[in-house]
């Protein structure tokens, strides 16, 4: 018996189906680790031994004990163990962790970029050892991100506000957003005019003035001369051009196009693509290579010639933009091009169709387009010329299947040089120059890629982190930096300018690539970075804390004592605080509205003896804490909270073993959390049944009509067994 270990249960089911069809008597058992089985502990003090050479200390991920036990049991029975985790650095690291935790002596590593019968058979024929250089590169990234994140975040907690965070790649991304925002703030609009003219020969059409004057007198002159002057077709310019298709998708372009066309966030795109990959419909979706296999090109050639004709096919080889295209060896493409539509649900079908269309069109002929420009002169050039542009598609080529990226016919009227035109109406329209546009998620990913910041596996995480931390808000696809994002970025730029620069961040990524290629030493790389970085962090310990962000408008006085106010930053953004704080707790919203002060319970804090116990609102509802927070972190035991007792389900918390699961109402509706919050932060989406999941040990919760109960842990196979079965 051979044991094959992958990450996801869905992937294991797809692979099992193909392995059962292999010739021979070998029995294959496929098991899933259900993602990572080890990670760095939350406490930074225990996570990395810097003095010993940046050695990370991993701990088993909670809930994975049973999975590890099962993997050990099957590995002992197996004649050979094959580690078939994803074909990138993270997959290599997961394979290594499985080997270390289960005590495997000589496991083999196999990789495939698509889950098809042929690819899996070929991979099994070519097993190799775990690539320690790839594993070290992933480990170096994790260690770097942890060291930078903890050191920077700790300093920001002390100098700006408790609970904020910073990261090695998220901070440069936030800086880019803020640079654009500062451009917009500094922008001064200027007036200009566009002038259009409705004219007629055999049919009506509209011309536009070649100039956009910024002086009203010039606008009036052009309008006056135009109304009285003679309009003649002065010239007709015709040109032909070719428009080539775009390269097949890599991770970044898939995320950008899915955002623009389908409205998917980068994280959603990657989640849907993951399902398509695990179901065997597409190749691996984390890649910066535009390469296509000869087998894939042969498939496309047959389909294009049969469906659209011989003249539509054109063999194309695309060069990789990345200097070190490394995450996988092929572009994102369908595994079977005869399937024009595939997927288990509407989202998967839409994304699959997008991938199919882009890949097939990449091997099609250029579109041929005829451009025409009609130029009208007025009174032999007394005022600027007016013109109109049009185009006709002579041969659609790749646009036959992908008109969203192509053009539409825009035919112009049939006129000849010297022909008179009748003016119907001339219209000047006052406008103002517009500030530069803010980034969308797609635009920011494109910018990060252009500056060589991040890698395919990190783009979606960067976008999600900026949103989750509350540093940006997404409005109609556009990213707006929040007050918190503004303050954090400004603080980091002022104090760690070099470490969030484009050049430094890109160079660090290149060094990680060199570790992956075996050209750079792990310990030396981290030492060269962390020594100088840590010194700068330590040197900033004595800088003054940012207690306020300037004086509030003079018309707003403290609603409690009438004193002047200052602008401060809370987790919800800017607000106005009494200048006499902490003697006075008066506060207003940034728009001037009065903020009710926290309710006092009348009790003295039993820990610090100086603070008063007040009622606060937290992530999981109301709780009672010391007014001296964060200096004093006392929180009254929530068992005494009558609101908790009223909504108590009576189901014990399996995490802390002390509290019970209590019904709460949050931003997204009803949920259930431990009554021992914030000491225990266990929370689930639906009402607990009181049963424990046999698969992972988490609480079972109420489900739907088709799945009456399910595991509360999303990663567990029992969370959605119906969906797992269908996939």
Per-residue DSSP letters for 41-65?
A: -S-HHHHEETTTTSEE--EEPTT-H
- Dist CA 97 CA 61 (whole Å): 11
Q: What is the helix (H) or strand (E) element at residue 171, kind and residue range?
A: helix 170-186
- Partners of 55 in the β-ladder: 49
- Dist CA 376 CA 198 (whole Å): 12
Instruction: Calculate helix-pair angle for 266-278, 346-361, nearest 10 degrees.
Output: 90
By C-alpha distance, which of 82, 74, 124 is closest to 107?
82
Look-up of token digits 């639906």: 686
In angstroms, what is the C-alpha Rg of the chain?
A: 31
471 noted as active-site residue: no
CB 250 within 8 A of CB 224: no
Structure tokens at 188: 């001064």
Sort strands 565-570 and 669-674 into parallel, antiparallel or unpaired. unpaired
Composition of the chain by helix, strand, coil, percent to 5? 35, 25, 40
CB 191 within 8 A of CB 431: yes
How many CA atoms are closer than 13 Å to the CA of 222, on its beta-carbon side? 26
Residue length of the chain: 727
Per-residue DSSP letters for 545-565?
A: P---SSBPPTT-B-TTT--BE
Edge-to-edge order in the sheet of strand 621-626 = 599-604, 612-618, 621-626
- Dist CA 457 CA 453 (whole Å): 12
- Dist CA 235 CA 714 (whole Å): 67
Q: Write the CA distances from 702 to 691, 708, 712, integer angstroms.
A: 10, 6, 9
CB 399 within 8 A of CB 406: yes
List the catalytic residue out of 281, 284, 499, 530.
284
Per-residue DSSP letters for 505-542?
A: HHHHHHHHHHHHTT-S-HHHHHHHHHHHHHHHHHHTTT
- Dist CA 339 CA 350 (whole Å): 13
CB 107 within 8 A of CB 272: no
Look-up of token digits 């003679």: 230
Catalytic machinery residues: 284
């Amino acid at each position: 018996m051979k044991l094959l270990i992958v990450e996801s249960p869905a992937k294991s089911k797809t692979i099992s189906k193909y392995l059962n069809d292999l010739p021979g008597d070998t029995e294959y058992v496929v098991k899933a680790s259900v993602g990572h089985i080890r990670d760095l502990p939350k406490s930074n003090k225990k996570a990395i031994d810097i003095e010993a050479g940046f050695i990370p200390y991993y701990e088993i991920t909670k809930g994975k004990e049973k999975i590890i036990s099962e993997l050990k049991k099957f590995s002992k029975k197996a004649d050979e163990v094959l580690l078939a985790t994803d074909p990138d650095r993270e997959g290599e690291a997961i394979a290594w962790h499985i080997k270390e935790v289960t005590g495997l002596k000589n496991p083999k590593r196999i990789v495939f970029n698509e889950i098809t019968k042929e690819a899996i058979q070929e991979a099994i024929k070519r097993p190799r050892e775990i690539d320690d250089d790839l594993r070290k590169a992933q480990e170096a990234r994790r260690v770097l991100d942890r060291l930078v994140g903890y050191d920077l975040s700790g300093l920001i907690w002390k100098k700006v506000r408790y609970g904020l965070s910073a990261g090695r790649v998220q901070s440069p991304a936030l800086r880019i957003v803020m640079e654009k925002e500062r451009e917009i703030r500094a922008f001064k609009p200027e007036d200009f005019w566009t002038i259009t003219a409705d004219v007629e020969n055999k049919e009506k059409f509209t011309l536009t003035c070649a100039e956009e004057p910024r002086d009203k007198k010039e606008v009036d002159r052009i309008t006056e001369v135009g109304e009285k002057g003679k309009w003649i077709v002065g010239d007709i310019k015709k040109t032909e051009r070719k428009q080539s298709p775009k390269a097949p998708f890599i991770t970044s372009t898939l995320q950008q196009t899915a955002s623009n066309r389908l409205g998917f966030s980068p994280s959603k795109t990657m989640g849907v693509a993951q399902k398509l990959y695990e179901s065997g419909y597409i190749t691996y979706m984390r890649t910066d290579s535009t390469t296509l296999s000869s087998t894939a090109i042969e498939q496309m050639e047959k389909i294009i010639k049969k469906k659209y004709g011989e003249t539509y096919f054109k063999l194309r080889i695309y060069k990789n933009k990345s200097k070190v295209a490394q995450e996988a060896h092929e572009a994102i493409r369908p595994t079977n091009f005869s399937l024009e539509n595939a997927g288990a649900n509407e989202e998967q079908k839409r994304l699959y169709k997008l991938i199919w269309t882009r890949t097939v069109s990449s091997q099609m002929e250029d579109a041929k387009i005829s451009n025409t420009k009609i130029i009208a002169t007025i009174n032999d050039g007394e005022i600027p010329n007016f013109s109109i542009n049009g185009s006709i598609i002579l041969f659609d080529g790749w646009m036959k299947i992908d008109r969203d990226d192509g053009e539409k016919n825009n035919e112009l009227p049939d006129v000849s040089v010297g022909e008179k035109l009748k003016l119907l109406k001339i219209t000047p329209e006052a406008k103002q120059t517009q500030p530069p546009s803010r980034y969308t998620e797609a635009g920011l990913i494109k910018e990060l890629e252009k500056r060589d910041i991040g890698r395919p596996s990190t783009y979606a995480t960067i976008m999600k982190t900026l949103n989750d931390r509350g540093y940006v808000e997404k409005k109609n696809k556009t990213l707006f930096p929040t007050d918190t994002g503004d303050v954090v970025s400004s603080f980091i730029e002022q104090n760690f300018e070099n470490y969030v620069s484009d050049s430094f961040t890109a160079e660090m990524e290149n060094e990680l690539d060199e570790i992956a290629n075996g050209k750079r030493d792990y310990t030396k790389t981290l030492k060269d970075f962390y020594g100088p970085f840590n010194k700068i962090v330590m040197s900033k310990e004595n800088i003054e804390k940012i207690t306020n962000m300037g004086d509030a408008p003079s018309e707003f006085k403290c609603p409690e004592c009438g004193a002047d106010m200052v602008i401060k930053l809370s987790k919800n953004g800017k607000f106005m605080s009494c200048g006499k704080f902490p003697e006075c707790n008066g506060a207003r919203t940034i728009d001037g509205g009065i903020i009710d002060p926290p309710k006092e319970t009348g009790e003295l804090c039993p820990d610090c003896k100086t603070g008063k116990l007040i009622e606060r609102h937290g992530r999981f509802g109301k709780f009672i804490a010391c007014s001296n927070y964060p200096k004093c972190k006392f929180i009254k035991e929530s068992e005494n909270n009558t609101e908790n007792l009223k909504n108590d389900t009576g189901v014990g918390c399996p995490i802390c073993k002390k509290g019970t699961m209590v019904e709460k109402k949050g931003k997204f509706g009803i949920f259930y959390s431990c009554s021992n919050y914030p000491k225990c932060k266990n929370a689930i989406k639906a009402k607990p049944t009181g049963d424990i999941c046999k698969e992972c040990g988490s609480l079972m919760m109420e489900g739907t009509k088709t799945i009456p109960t399910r595991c509360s842990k999303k990663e567990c196979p029992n969370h959605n067994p119906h969906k797992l079965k269908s996939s």
